[in-house]
Amino acid sequence: MIPSSRKSLACRSLLALLLLGIAGSAMAQWKWRDATGKVLYSDLPPPAGIPEKDVLQRPPGQRQQVIVRSTDVPASAPRPPASPTSAPPSKAELEQQAKQKAEQEQQLKRQKEEERKVAEQRAENCKRANNNLRALEEGIRISRRNEAGETVYLDEKQRAEEVARTRNIVSNDCR
């Protein structure tokens, strides 16, 4: 059996530890400067409108708030208030966010598809220009139809002009 003085000491020690634990959590305070320059203290984080540079003290373990701004959403778009005490988003809000995300993904998919088509067309144009340049440089007789529908062959001057024009196309479009 434990003597009563030892029980009393153990109870007091336990009580002291308990009080220290409570006091430690009570010291977890925020300190910030409001818009007027007044220093405020609270056990809750500062309001969302307080700039990060005005937060003077955080509780241990609290990290600096990082705001990430998407480039897909214009800066003028309304943003929901960032408050740790706000309620979780409603089902309708979650559905709206999912719908917006799906629309953004569709837009990105369409954009990538368009870029792929442009790249394919550019490659085809490059191939045609290279084939045309090869034919011009090999001396193959090149003919065209004039406005009257008659076949007209390129003379040396016209061939040189066509070679220069085709080389320009190849150098600009075939990179």
At residue 105, does pLDDT exceed 90?
yes
Looking at per-residue confidence, does 152 or 22 come out higher? 152
Cα–Cα distance measured from residue 44 to residue 46, given in angstroms and rounded to the nearest whole number: 7
Tokens for 169? Answer: 């196309």
Q: What is the DSSP string of the chain?
A: ---HHHHHHHHHHHHHHHHHHHHHHHT--EEEE-TTS-EEEESSPPPTTS-GGGEEE--TTPPPP-----SSS-TTS------TTSPPPPHHHHHHHHHHHHHHHHHHHHHHHHHHHHHHHHHHHHHHHHHHHHHHHHT---EEE-TTS-EEE--HHHHHHHHHHHHHHHHHH--
Which has the closest alpha carbon to 26: 43, 45, 46, 40?
43
Looking at per-residue confidence, does 66 or 141 come out higher? 141
Mean pLDDT of the chain: 80
> Domains of the chain: which residue ranges?
90-175
In the structure, what pLDDT confidence band is assigned to residue 64 with cuts at 50, 70 and 90? Answer: low
Output the pLDDT for position 101: 93
Across 21-25, 69-73, 85-89, 98-102, which has the greatest mean pLDDT?
A: 98-102
At residue 30, does pLDDT exceed 60?
yes
